[in-house]
Structure 1
Amino acid sequence: MVTRRKLFQNSSMMALSALGSGAARPTLPDKANFRVQEFETCLNAGRWHPLSNGARKAADLYQEYKQRGIWDRGSLGSPSNPNAHGGSQAETKQLFAKLIGASVDEIAFVQSTTAGENLVVQALGLPADGVNIVTDGLHFEGSLYLYDALRQKGMDVRVVKPRNWRLEMADLERAIDKQTRLVAISLVSYINGFEHDLRRVCEVAHAKGALVYADIVQAAGAMPFDVGASGVDFCATASYKWLMGDFGLGFLYASKGVLGRRLRRPVHSYRQLRSFSNHMFPYDSPAPSPVTWAQHETAAGYFEQGTLANSVSETLAYSLQYLETLGVETIHKHSQSMIQQMRREVPRLGHALITPEESRGPLVAFQLKDPMAIEAKLKKAKVDVTISDHRMRVSPSVYNDQADIDRLLQALSS
């Protein structure tokens, strides 16, 4: 009997094998699996990661199925059940859970990182009187907007300001008290790559009775991260950055310790149901109410809603397996070798380093006196980085090598 898991594995290996001989275990830099270098020197994976050839093939297979109709699935390596239009969703979730050391019951699909954070806030009954939220100035701008909007509604929101491009643990600890319901931070800041000591943050917060949410979009897939070791209660990420997927699909983690204990369902959707029965039509079984149902007591049972971006799920089925094959430790070591060189060389060109030395994230940032001039130089050289608010953020990935860093340095010095 051909199981759904086997079909998924066969489909994923088809995409992996499309890279060529030995592609199941690529070496870095992996330029053969990415076309982006045909068009630019991309050192901007922290903005959105270029799609790989294998992920593109996985998406194409799904689009081919969509053209055929639901009954003709056999030649596409899919189950015969015409209602199984979710493709590789279950396997995608399993792969992500494994990536961050979670159980699959602790993972819910969400639209984006921001969607996940909003759902956590709502599930905790916020805004509310008599409690507070603690966050910091290096958190994502959309998150700071969320919490400031709650502040304007009367919520006690405490924003810890950075000093010298870092958050001091002592400052964060002073802001957390017995009335803190949620501490919300980015594990790795999108602004400058500052990395929180998440384990320590969780210890301090939990000692005061608070829960911790972490945005892990600039960490998951790019550096080793384990939810159990961190002690975090919630975390979320999108798939279009280091998970090498695309826009419109992400993941929310909620630990078993908080599921069903301190949460209320912020939304209701058929995806949360374990069973559903009508009692209104001919041949329906009788019951006191028009419908009866039971919910999953899992992260999905609390947070999932509506249909998902199936095409993105197919790219992730490939990309998450690709990450597992390479190993996140290998990916991290590869990027850090390039980041360390930029830490040394870019300040010599007059651009101050603003990423703390101890930060291990996949990006490095510098202060710019004349961002428009730098942007013009890099555009001319077709070197892609993020330039915003007198800052330059550089984020190399698996397809980059030393020659790409040399192009950046040469363009900056021109």
Structure 2
Amino acid sequence: MSAPFESYRAEFPVLKEQLYLNHAGVAPTSTRAAAAVKAWMDDVVNHGVLHERGWEAQSEKVRGLAARIIGASPEEVAFVRNTSHGLGLVAEGLDWQPGDEVAVATSLEYPSNVYPWLHLKGRGVEVREIPTPDGGVTPEAVASVLTPRTRLVAVSSVQFATGHRTDLDALGALCERSGVLLCVDGIQSVGCIPVDVKKSRVHFLSADSHKWMLGISGIGFLYVAKDVLPRVRPALVGWRSTTDAWNFNRSHFELRPDAAKFEEGSAAYPGIYAMGAALELLLEVGTDAIGARIGELLAQLDAGLRGLGCDVGPEPKDRAGILTFLPPGANVRALSAYLSEKTVSHSVRRGRIRLSPHFYNTNEEMDRLVELVRAYRPG
């Protein structure tokens, strides 16, 4: 492991306790993120609201970091509680008409990217099922279900259960040619691989920070492309949604023209501070370097597990940060329990063991995982 990556391990004390391969589930956060939250808490404890302007300035700095990591502008970014919150704002904010259609792989997607669209049934919106015979959403599969009534395609950048990476560039080009909006659940890619919403022609992207971003639960961001911002009506509004937000002496209801119109009330400063520290760390390391390093670790796991006769997926060309496997002749639940006893943090998704290392994991840790699988004896 190269020195630049190795140096960050000290910021994640959990690595002394566990072999952490569960960043697609809930990631550990860093000491610098914890310090950022503590600094804000200490400020409130000792000074009350005296430094509120500083909190706001820091929030805008974090908005800029969030925009930077996905290739957007700060005006296109809103803070949200989680991925579901952001996707729900999109689903509830568009001007749907009876007979409109949304294309989504309901059989494959995480529920956060299914339920907001199914919830539109009461408004006469139909959900068209995208076929996924190979465990992922392909542009060809999407093209097969598009009709003149399709208004939006909803997809995860990386499928949570299979690990299949969506070709967002190709899908974005298809949606642009078809005059269809593209909405992305980005939680399994932001912080793991490079993301460029402009290059991929994405209209909406929602992600919260407790997975690959190495932040904490309860805070994330929603990207809304500048050209579609006027078409999305905030499902909730409050004082912060308006152009004269800090003037409490009058009522002047004029919505902000930027994505901050979706932030209806007081900011979640602790979460924003934590996410800011996490994003600074990721940008410091570099998203290209992170993506490449994770790819190396997955390739090592792939080779080792295949050498044991495991069924491993997805294929390298379809891979981002997730590897899943089935051991030959072993009970998955029993093997999972064994790995947990050996302090390996991992997940089981749809009957397969899911592994998801981050850039600070080591080659020795990948060897350890393979050796644990090799050593396992059922019963």
Q: TM-score, normalised by structure 1?
A: 0.83
Q: What stretches of structure 2 of length at least 5 have no aligned partner?
A: none
CA contact (8 A) 1:95 1:320 kept: yes
Equivalent residue number for residue 22 of structure 1: none
Q: 1:267 to 1:168 in 2, by over 3 A?
A: same
Bigger mean CA deviation after superposition, 265-274 or 401-410 = 265-274
CA displacement at 1:293 relative to structure 2: 3.5
> What SS does the corresponding residue of 1:409 show, helix, strand or coil?
helix
Q: Give the distance between the partners of 2:67 and 2:245, measured in 1 at CA.
A: 27
> What SS does the corresponding residue of 1:294 show, helix, strand or coil?
coil
1:408 partner letter:
L
2:42 partner letter:
E
CA contact (8 A) 2:136 2:159 kept: no
Q: Give the distance between the partners of 2:268 and 2:234, measured in 1 at CA.
A: 22
Is 1:169–2:135 an aligned residue pair? no
CA contact (8 A) 1:178 1:210 kept: no
CA contact (8 A) 1:276 1:291 kept: no
Equivalent residue number for residue 252 of structure 2: 292
Q: 1:219 to 1:245 in 2, by over 3 A?
A: same
CA displacement at 1:361 relative to structure 2: 1.0
- Percent identity between the aligned chains? 26
Is 1:346–2:305 an aligned residue pair? yes
Q: How many residues align?
A: 370
> What SS does the corresponding residue of 1:293 show, helix, strand or coil?
coil
Q: Give the distance between the partners of 2:45 and 2:155, measured in 1 at CA.
A: 43
2:99 to 130, 150, 159: 130
Q: Give the distance between the partners of 1:245 and 1:129, measured in 2 at CA.
A: 40
Equivalent residue number for residue 241 of structure 1: 211
CA contact (8 A) 2:190 2:207 kept: yes
1:270 partner letter:
W
CA contact (8 A) 1:277 1:293 kept: no
CA displacement at 1:276 relative to structure 2: 5.5
Equivalent residue number for residue 288 of structure 2: 329
Q: Give the distance between the partners of 1:205 and 1:231, measured in 2 at CA.
A: 8
Q: Give the distance between the partners of 2:293 and 2:7, measured in 1 at CA.
A: 8
- Work out which of the two has the higher radius of gyration on C-alpha atoms and give 1 or 2: 1
Equivalent residue number for residue 392 of structure 1: 353
CA displacement at 1:310 relative to structure 2: 1.2
CA contact (8 A) 1:105 1:298 kept: yes
CA displacement at 1:328 relative to structure 2: 0.9
2:108 partner letter:
L
> What SS does the corresponding residue of 1:353 show, helix, strand or coil?
strand
Q: Give the distance between the partners of 2:362 and 2:166, measured in 1 at CA.
A: 28
Equivalent residue number for residue 13 of structure 1: none
1:32 partner letter:
A
CA displacement at 1:81 relative to structure 2: 4.3
Q: 1:89 to 1:401 in 2, by over 3 A?
A: same
CA contact (8 A) 2:138 2:171 kept: no
> What SS does the corresponding residue of 1:108 show, helix, strand or coil?
strand
1:115 partner letter:
H
Q: Give the distance between the partners of 2:7 and 2:321, measured in 1 at CA.
A: 15
Equivalent residue number for residue 61 of structure 1: 39
In the TM superposition, 1:264-413 aligns within 5 A as 264-275=233-244, 291-301=251-261, 303-367=262-326, 370-413=331-374
CA contact (8 A) 1:29 1:398 kept: no
Q: Give the distance between the partners of 2:142 and 2:94, measured in 1 at CA.
A: 21
1:339 partner letter:
L
Q: What stretches of structure 1 of length at least 5 have no aligned partner?
A: 1-24, 72-79, 285-289
> What SS does the corresponding residue of 2:217 show, helix, strand or coil?
coil
Q: TM-score, normalised by structure 2?
A: 0.91
CA displacement at 1:294 relative to structure 2: 2.8
CA contact (8 A) 2:186 2:207 kept: yes
2:205 partner letter:
C
Q: Give the distance between the partners of 1:207 and 1:61, measured in 2 at CA.
A: 48
> What SS does the corresponding residue of 1:114 show, helix, strand or coil?
helix
Equivalent residue number for residue 207 of structure 1: 177
> What SS does the corresponding residue of 2:301 show, helix, strand or coil?
helix
Bigger mean CA deviation after superposition, 84-93 or 215-224 = 84-93
Equivalent residue number for residue 41 of structure 1: 19
Q: Give the distance between the partners of 1:276 and 1:242, measured in 2 at CA.
A: 33
2:165 to 187, 195, 216: 195
Q: Superposition RMSD on alpha carbons, in Å?
A: 2.2
CA displacement at 1:122 relative to structure 2: 1.0
CA contact (8 A) 1:362 1:395 kept: yes
